[in-house]
Amino acid sequence: MTDVAGSLWQRIMSGFAQAPFPEVTATELLIVMVVATVVSLPRASWRYFGLLATVTHELGHAFAALMTGQRLGGIRLSLDHSGTTTTYSRGRFPAVWSTFWGYPVPGVVGAAMVWSGFNGWGPAAMSVGTLILLGSFLFIRNAIGLVITFAAVLGCSLLVLFVPPQFTGHVVIALGLALLVAAVRDLAKLSNVHLRRRDRLTTSDAHLLYRATSVPAVVWILLFGAVVAGSWWVAWQPMAHVLAAGVSP
């Protein structure tokens, strides 16, 4: 067990060196886009992959809270993809800031992963993700949350240990695209809560922001969407070059 932990730590640390740029073909990228959609849209696969999006969402709240000097009380995760991040703030702006950075974060992280994968920083992205997930154990406050986080850490650790660095970029691009699709799916789910399932408004970050600022929830949803759209734009830049090269004579 000690040898495995030592090997994992060594691979995590070695991941911070830039790797060769992966040679991504248009065919591979199209397949990856289909796979990302398949794991993020159908209910059967979303039941499991959506938990990673939930972890990313809640870690977004937590990181934003720490950025503004708030005290982080803890994170609770559930198998129904709900989650709660408890923070303590003495001002309105820090509370609004940390509440905002939930829904947009899977898109932002997804764009960062796609960019990293294309630019030789796929191993670094995987190392950073593994370290963040390991650190999040300190803030998880329920048993199911620990199980979900452990599964995420195990998945990342296996990728770090067994995927050669020259292929890690391909894996990171695929995971990033899946998170980008997941961000759109979650925004659609949030919009549905406001349009059709208003009995669940208390679970909506947009509703909480409305209560804190009196700015209508629809404005916050549009702002979430703008950040996610911007994330897609960033991710699309390297993808467009690959696709254009694939169709050029």
Q: What was the pLDDT predicted at 9?
A: 84
Three-class SS state of 18:
coil
Query: How far from 92 is each of 80, 97, 155, 212, CA to CA, in Å?
Result: 30, 9, 37, 8
| Rounded to 5°, angle at Cα 122 from 158 and 61 | 80
Nearest to 194 by CA among 226, 219, 213: 219
CB 212 within 8 A of CB 99: yes
CA distance 124 to 211: 39
Q: What is the pLDDT of residue 249?
A: 52
pLDDT at 7 (0 to 100): 82
Contact 125, 113 (CB under 8 A): yes
**239: its two tokens:** 């993808």
Indicate the domain borders of the chain: 25-244
Q: Are strands 83-88 and 71-77 parallel, antiparallel or unpaired?
A: antiparallel
d(CA 155, CA 191): 31
**Chain CA centroid to CA 59, Å:** 9
φ, ψ for residue 74, nearest 5 deg: 155, 170
Residues 13, 29: Cα–Cα separation, whole Å: 28
Q: What is the CA radius of gyration of the chain?
A: 18
Q: What is the mean pLDDT of each run of 10 residues along the chain (249 residues)?
A: 76 86 91 87 88 95 94 93 90 93 97 96 94 95 96 93 89 94 94 80 88 94 98 96 74
Query: Would you state the pLDDT for residue 248?
Result: 52
Quote the DSSP letter at residue 31. Answer: H
Dist. CA 202–CA 138, nearest whole Å: 27
Q: CB within 8 A of 95, min separation 6: which ones?
A: 70, 87, 89, 212
In 3D space, the residue among 114, 101, 100, 106 whose CA is nearest the CA of residue 183 turns out to be 106
pLDDT at 2: 67
Confidence (pTM): 0.94
